[in-house]
Structure 1
Amino acid sequence: AEKKELNELLQGLIQIKSVNPPGNEAQIANFIKKFLLKNNIHSNLVPLEEGRSSVIAKIEGKEEKNITLCGHIDTVRVKEEDWTKPAFQGLIENGKMYGRGASDMKGGVAAILYAAVLLKRRGIVPKKTVQLALTADEEWGYRGAKNLVDGGYFDRTDFIIITEPSNLQVSTGEKGELWIRAKFYGKSAHGSTPEVGINTIIPGSEFVVNITERYEKIFEADPFWGKTSMNIGQFRGGVQVNIVPNYSEIQLDFRVISEEDKEKAVELVRKTGEEIAKKYKVRFAEEIFNYHPP
């Protein structure tokens, strides 16, 4: 009966779209609030912005200090046409549930909620208060968690357990997230006279090849933390086929294991870009547009 109830809870979470952007977590937050209330657990919605909320709840313990169980209620985007199973149904086949967020991380959120329900049903009074913190906007800026920190909700927290999918392996740290734009500025011209313009896709392409080779030589693996990773996630350039592109932009996603590697990554982008810009007589600039420390 408990397994069936837990499966139905996870299905209910999956069936509510909370794809970020835009998030729209208010609907799933209200679903969670009603589920907890049905099981005699009071909760509060903590607004982030219009249509977006996080959820806070507590199982009172013998001490005011708490252990916080934390998970996010938004998911990454989905192209339903690319799925072989329904993305927002919670279909169960051969003992597995399929759906956007089943792993990351509505499964973890369901585990948090059901653990709290079982504590309540069985009349267990924990030594420390157990706080549930279910956050909005994890996938696109962590603003929900920051909003809770700024609101003082973690002031009495001794430990936080985050139920991200980890193959049941305990993780004690996380790589930092560093996003950089590498921007090349040239000169536009008509496609019939490319010699009049300066095409920025050419230096941009060389930048991609060059930085990939340099990355392998610069970053070394740490025996405990692993290796800083680099992903070239986007290459933008050109307006239409008959115009010489005067701007190109490469977006890089570094997952850094240290502040030192963050500085290495920025220097790698800058040095590579400036050398190539000089070669092709274009202007180069780098821009950090997202950073969360390791």
Structure 2
Amino acid sequence: MENGFGAYLKSEKLKDTTIEQHVRQVRYFLCWLADSYLLLAEVGQPEILRYIDCLWSEGRTAGQINRALLSLRYWFGYLNKTGSVQGNPASGLRVKGAVRSIPTGLLEKNELDHLYDSYTAKDDRTHRNKTILGLLVYQALTLEELETLRPENLKLREGKITIPETTNNAGRTLDLKPFQILDLQEYLLVIRPRIQQRSERLFTGRNDLEDLKNTLLHLCHALRRINPKVKHATQIRQSVITEWLKEKGLRQVQYMAGHRYVSSTERYLTTNLEDLRDALNKHHPLK
């Protein structure tokens, strides 16, 4: 088990010490399976919940249990890749005390499209904001990524945009919608030179400030008048990623979202999410 699984974890660019921890966690789980007279092929979410109960009974903390669940997600990801099993019964499971939680209060695709279509560009500032909105709604960019973009990241003839690697996310190249190409071209050639003189970034805030926090704050305030459900730019990103997963494969969405680890993408999976929440809230409430 160690050699194949270890090589898989290396391909995920994990450190040697982290790999050792994951292998140790999986070995412990396999021992529990044997003691429970369970076969690997029989493991589903109910069995994982039983395993969580076992860890609770041993006095494990929420953080320790969540690290064990992360190891199992990697393990079942490896088994999926080798064709040994299908599905990942540990996917989306996270108990109270975890840093991350399952995203809630998300917008649906038609609501995201409506935000973009309904936001009116009345002047240079709102034209810039609508261009930014397009990158939120259709490419799910983060604040950090928006502040990192340069004009050379736009490949308008190819209909693509290259997102540089940031502290939190991996770099990637994404397709642009046809109407985005027109908006970006007008912004780049006409609007940007009028509102931006000093910075080399693609977007800046008021008075050529490179920080876009206030820009997104004002944008979301305007979007809330279109749809009161809008909270912040992070919610929009979470909504887009969730919608992508309804149509695309997990690994493809991981790349598109810039997630370094597939576990970051898995928490957006909505299959049987309500049943899962009920089961977890009964014994192991999510944060």
Answer whether TM exceeds 0.5 for this pair: no
Q: TM-score range by the shorter chain?
A: under 0.3
Kindly name which structure, 1 or 2, has the bigger radius of gyration based on alpha carbons.
1
Name the one with the larger helix percent.
2
TM-score (norm: length of structure 2) = 0.25
